Structure 1
């Protein structure tokens, strides 16, 4: 049995068709672990929060929902989820997106690695990814951005799956503005810049749980072409990344 207590924090938006499958898998895999799941719903329009609330009435689910209004975007919702996890006082905070693109068994393994090591953060390095060309180009660009800021290159700069020690996460959150569009990139850069001990553990990247692998965040219809919404987000995130800010200089 895993001896550390774990807070699993999960930002999500419009995941009603697949999130219960993911939460049930987490419940089963973490059954013998002292844990809780905190889902931060970013004002979903498909009733996701209500679905989780109904399912979470079973005490064995160890799940609660924080409803975030108005819709704030993935970055601020991720930060809110991380803050909620840190507030539990548990030994490990495990962050993962609500689209269910990871196996719960590998999520637990990241916690095991953190528990037995002296690492500050264990990053889930995604493997077996079948991304279209524009996504691969975006991923390559994020690795370059992190290297320019920290002089160290991650294998997966924007992975949403990470296990944190509370003291390391507290340091990272102090550097994150609440409106950060790419908090995982900032964390990748700042954790390396501060010479945190980081372990990159391979995890298999799965298709999104649910009826469609695309989800609704970017309005994706053609898998191999970026949407205007995605391009606009990348442009706005790049402007925010390069804008002067205290987290770039500390």
Structure 2
């Protein structure tokens, strides 16, 4: 399948070391599949030159956020920027570049071939510290119980969305949500979205420093950092409030007829 316009949306924080090379790699792999490819970077008030690294690149738009708010709100800002560009398909990926460019070709090919509302990239070979993997697994179990089925890699940042399906999710999710992809995964399962899963390689973050990643590289720690423990408590409370309790706003999402396949 050939697309008229593919928008790549990307939250970023202190990724100057690797983000431009990552975007170049993604562009090289996606361009043969589309008449037009655009990149929409939401910069979370980086303290390095991430916001300036694309000043001379025509197909990349960088929107610096008003304040530093963390990954979730920045991802939602990137999604909104992509929706405003009115593309045929929106692909989300984090700015730390933990995926291979070739897998974007596979993701879009699967999206076009299956008629899905969304294709999730399910990460193989994750290099995150054990406590991040454990947190993801625990959340995945919780979502499986709530959704009535298992959702592989419930918080994966690599996703290709049909814009009208994505808009339902973004509009129902508060702009300050810390774990929007968890909410999206659960709402998709409950609402009967056509979701496809594609196994992709997970590689280490591009760049040598740890300043661009919220939790660092682990650095041999045997226990999760205090900041991660605090984040996990906040995220679980948010999942209950927005997605799990009987009156939760994301429980009301229904897949529209015009998206049906």
1:189-208 mapped onto 2 (5 Å cutoff): 189-208=186-205
* Distance across 2 between alignment mates of 1:13 and 1:101: 14
* Distance across 1 between alignment mates of 2:11 and 2:51: 11
Who is 1:153 aligned against?
A: 150
- 1:181 is aligned to 2:178: yes
1:10-159 mapped onto 2 (5 Å cutoff): 10-32=10-32, 33=34, 34-53=36-55, 57-59=56-58, 62-159=59-156
The TM-score normalised by the length of structure 2 is: 0.88
What are the Cα deviations for residues 38-88 of structure 1, in whole angstroms up to 9, with x where unaligned?
0110001112101222xxx243xx111011121011111111111111111
Q: SS where residue 207 of structure 1 aligns?
A: coil
* Distance across 1 between alignment mates of 2:200 and 2:119: 11
The TM-score normalised by the length of structure 1 is: 0.91
Cα distance, 1:187 vs structure 2? 0.3
CA contact 2:128–2:218 (8 Å) conserved in 1 = no
* Distance across 1 between alignment mates of 2:38 and 2:66: 23
Segments ≥4 residues shifted beyond 6 Å: none
What are the Cα deviations for residues 155-211 of structure 1, in whole angstroms up to 9, with x where unaligned?
100000000001110111122111111000000000000011110000000100011
* Distance across 2 between alignment mates of 1:52 and 1:218: 25
Who is 1:235 aligned against?
A: 233
Q: Which moved more, 1:130-139 or 1:94-103?
A: 130-139
Q: SS where residue 157 of structure 1 aligns?
A: coil
List alignment gaps of at least 5 residues for structure 1: none
Cα distance, 1:221 vs structure 2? 5.5
* Distance across 1 between alignment mates of 2:98 and 2:9: 15
* Distance across 1 between alignment mates of 2:142 and 2:155: 11
RMSD: 1.8
Q: Which moved more, 1:155-164 or 1:218-227?
A: 218-227
Q: SS where residue 188 of structure 1 aligns?
A: helix
Cα distance, 1:112 vs structure 2? 1.5
Q: SS where residue 35 of structure 1 aligns?
A: strand
* Distance across 2 between alignment mates of 1:64 and 1:239: 34
Match of 2:207 among 197, 206, 210: 210
* Distance across 1 between alignment mates of 2:122 and 2:217: 24
Count residues in correspondence. 245
